Amino acid sequence: KAGVTQTPRYLIKTRGQQVTLSCSPISGHRSVSWYQQTPGQGLQFLFEYFSETQRNKGNFPGRFSGRQFSNSRSEMNVSTLELGDSALYLCASSLVGYNEQFFGPGTRLTVL
Amino acid sequence: KNEVEQSPQNLTAQEGEFITINCSYSVGISALHWLQQHPGGGIVSLFMLSSGKKKHGRLIATINIQEKHSSLHITASHPRDSAVYICAVLSTDSWGKLQFGAGTQVVVTP
């Protein structure tokens, strides 16, 4: 069974731009969670989607948004990028949200 | 104060030594994960626990729900075990939201 995939793996953007990251969960998994990892703040929860609905949201500004499609694939969008948004963005999938989570390889975003 | 605390922050061991990493949490949980992250690498789920003990190869994880404490043990440590180990909890009624400890950097020398 294929694991969680994320695209792209690396991105370089400039301040003010916007970016869209994609996550394809393990087949059969309907829950997708997104996390941000930075050296200063560690791993922090962004949001979780299940059956195209956002069920849970972390403490991030509205510039961070996401969505989930009917095939469970998920995207997250960051608008008006700031230098502090430079981070590793990880998605994780699970069957329904309270099962074991399996992580993708992450997207490394650098904002210049 | 972080709701998930790990200790130690850093650990150096010689090959073959027994390693223990501890995790304490202050919230009600439905499950606890132990995760591994190699330098520059992604995150791998080692265990998910909701009670008792699990073993996988040289790794053993235990959890005491009453005491809100979990431990990860590495027996007969090997240099390839060098990584950051992260404890993460899934709070009760918190869909898909893991809360993470700060991680323990483990270095195993030959």
Convert the pLDDT of each residue in A13-30 to its tens digit: 999 999 999 999 999 999
Regions of chain B where pLDDT drops below 70: 1
- H or E element: which one contains A61? none
Task: Tell whether B99 is within 8 A of chain A (Cβ).
Answer: yes
A94's tokens: 């699970």
Strand A10-13, strand A107-111: pairing: parallel
Q: Does B27 touch chain A (CB under 8 A)?
A: no
| A104: CB partners within 8 A, 6+ apart | A3, A4, A5, A6, A23, A90, A91, A92, A93, B42
How many angstroms separate the CA atoms of A5 and A27, rounded? 11
What is the nearest CA distance from A17 to chain B, expressed in angstroms?
Answer: 25
Does position A99 have pLDDT exceeding 90, yes or no?
A: no
- Over the stretch A54-98, which tens digit does the pLDDT of each residue have? 999 999 999 999 999 999 999 999 999 999 999 999 999 999 877
CA distance B3 to chain A (A): 13
**Phi and psi at residue B93, to the nearest 5°:** 60, 25
Q: Which residue of A has its CA nearest to B42?
A: A105
